[in-house]
Chain A
Amino acid sequence: MALTGYLADYSLAEILQFIQQGSKTGLLSISIEPNPAENIAGVNEYTWFQNGRVVAHAKDLSSFGLISMLEKRNWVGAETSANLRVQSKTLTAPLGLHLKSINLVDVEQLRILFHAQVLQAVCSLFKLQNAKFHFDDRASVANIKPEMTGMSVTAVEVSLLGMRSLKDWTYLERKLPAPEFGVQRLQEALPEYKLDTQETQMFTASDGKHSIGEIATEIGISVRKAQEIAFRLTAVSLLKEIALDSPSLEQSLKKSPALANSISASSAISASSAIAVSAKPKVSNSFLNNLVGFLKKQK
């Protein structure tokens, strides 16, 4: 089933986490309609995934993106390039592996290609805030062998790189965990991929008992920075948010003038005390059976 929406609503970090956690295979298209009146250039970006890993990226669907990169770097001559364009239609293995098998490129060159084609390109997508996305999990990767180097990276690794390079977090503002929230590690060991110093400090300090605000003080960074790092590590499934002690009604009213305006403290207290005063006795099986019977008759 295809998913469609805007990155402002469902961020690229969330999409990549979704794709990795679901081990999804398919094509993610990201686009911005051109608007010359507002000097907005159109954008089309295509990223392919196989079992939750990014395998290729291109700016069009011509299937010649990787060959163009080889030409641009003068790693193939004109004749070879023309032959590759013809051969690419019948490739049974990723183009990168094919080129390596005929000694046209080495492993280091493949790494450079993959870095430019996938890592840099996908990271730059994090800056697009108003773009539309479309993920088609029926799109096959069998036809994109000419765009594949043969290398791949997990969706969340590239997500982490992208979020690190993000300067403007405005559109993610409302998704950042509140400073009074705690964070807890979902695994004890550091991941196989490299975290930067602050991410490592945040990961280590995330014991589910201290708030993000307290961790910020402990590791000597601003609360805002700590919120961004906590979001990053949550979006790559290394941490989960923990609700520490809930604020009292009085604290909530103090924190939010809008709340204070829209509800009087006395009415909220009386509403909440109606449920708070009574204990929670167990509900009997006969009660449950009677209720089910009663509800079924209501239909």
Chain B
Amino acid sequence: MEIMRLVITGCVGAGKSTFVRSISEIEVVDTDRKATDEVGQMKQNTTVSMDFGTLSFGPDMSLHIYGTPGQSRFDFMWDILINKAHAYILLVAAHRPSEFHHARRILNFMNQRATIPMLIGVTHSDCSGAWSLENITLALGYLPGVPQPPVIMVNANEKESSVDAIVALLQLCMGDDEATDSAETDEELATV
């Protein structure tokens, strides 16, 4: 069985659980619990361990999708999940600038732990007070003129939009693979 592991990360309320549910063919295994702290003001339940969904597209090929908890006190899970991931998507709610600092912290954490293809999915961009993609990218620490990951709008409630995000990420993975293959071929030629 060939398995690709995709991690969906981001702050509380960014749409991670919804994203995993929109893609998964199985009933998502979630570990949502009633939020008992300030998170309770934003949503009733929050993911404390992870969400898990799958998508099989052949007898021996499957995509495993893991949604991380949003709160940093669960960051032991971030570590476990990102270390085994092949790629990840950071979801950022465009209308919650109060969470950008935390999103930046997650981004730094993930990038320190793993060098894998990633993209930023901006959710809630139709909400009042939503920031533009350009300004969110800047708030996350990507300076103008410096290479940055793709940033796309995502509506986690719509399967089509989640699919678009994953396809964009897979295309990045293919680009990465081609670059790696090319480097390996160059090395082989050099040794000959």
Q: Is B61 an interface residue (CB 8 A)?
A: yes
Residues of B within 8 A of A3 (CB): 97, 131, 135
Q: Is A290 an interface residue (CB 8 A)?
A: yes
Q: Is B31 an interface residue (CB 8 A)?
A: yes
Chain B contact residues: over half helix, strand or loop, or mixed?
helix
B112 touches A242 (CB 8 A): yes
Residues of B within 8 A of A290 (CB): 57-58, 61
Q: Is B170 an interface residue (CB 8 A)?
A: yes
A243 touches B84 (CB 8 A): no
Q: Which residue of A lies closest to B174 (CB)?
A: A288
With A10-B98, A255-B73, A271-B49 known as contacts, the answer to whether A262 contacts B171 (CB < 8 A) is no
B163 touches A288 (CB 8 A): no
Q: Which residue in A10, A283, A299 is a CB contact (below 8 Å) of B2?
A: A283
Q: Which residue in B86, B97, B164, B173 is a CB contact (below 8 Å) of A10?
A: B97
Q: Which residue of B lies closest to A133 (CB)?
A: B97
A267 touches B174 (CB 8 A): no
Cα–Cα, bound, A181→B129 (Å): 32
Kindly identify, within residues 109 to 167 of chain B, every residue whose CB is under 8 Å from any CB belonging to chain A.
109, 112-113, 129, 131-132, 134-135, 138-139, 141, 143-144, 159-160, 163-164, 166-167
Q: How far is the CB of B171 from chain A (nearest CB, A)?
A: 7
Task: Choose, from A93-101, A139-147, A194-202, A274-282, the stretch at the interface.
Answer: A274-282
Q: Is B41 an interface residue (CB 8 A)?
A: no
Q: Mark A269-299 against chain B: 1 for CB-CB distance below 8 A, else 0.
A: 0011001101011011101111110111011
Q: Which residue in A18, A255, A291, A299 is a CB contact (below 8 Å) of B57?
A: A291
A280 touches B167 (CB 8 A): no
With A295-B167, A298-B159 known as contacts, the answer to whether A258 contacts B37 (CB < 8 A) is yes
Q: Which residue in A243, A259, A288 is a CB contact (below 8 Å) of B170?
A: A288
Q: Which residue in A14, A267, A268 is a CB contact (below 8 Å) of B100?
A: A14
Q: Is B33 an interface residue (CB 8 A)?
A: yes
Q: Is A22 an interface residue (CB 8 A)?
A: yes
B129 touches A246 (CB 8 A): no
23 CB < 8 A contacts A-B: A1-B131, A3-B97, A22-B143, A243-B109, A243-B113, A246-B78, A247-B76, A252-B75, A258-B37, A262-B34, A267-B31, A272-B49, A272-B76, A275-B84, A280-B86, A284-B2, A285-B178, A288-B173, A288-B174, A291-B57, A295-B163, A296-B167, A299-B160
